[in-house]
Amino acid sequence: MTEPTTADQARAIVYDAYTTGLSQAAAAQLLEGRATTAWVAHEYAALRRRGVSSMAGQQTLFDTETAE
């Protein structure tokens, strides 16, 4: 039996998907039916309104200036 995903957990998944440049459909698929595509679209829009870069995660992942 799988544990239910809390709203905070789902938002974290959507945030990670958004900041790594994944599509809304891919983010919804990551949630495996635990959230509607409309909810994912709403969360993506909220992140855009807040000014969060859709590539922020990739910029951090591939930042060569801070690499050791």
Supply the DSSP string of 2-67, one letter for each residue.
PPPPPHHHHHHHHHHHHHTT--HHHHHHHTTTSS-HHHHHHHHHHHHHTT--TTHHHHHHT-SSS-
Q: What is the pTM of this model?
A: 0.74
Tokens of 66: 């801070």
Share of the chain above pLDDT 70, in %: 75
The rounded distance, in Å, linking the Cα atoms of 5 and 31 is 8
CA distance 48 to 64: 26
Question: In this predicted structure, what is the pLDDT of residue 65?
Answer: 60
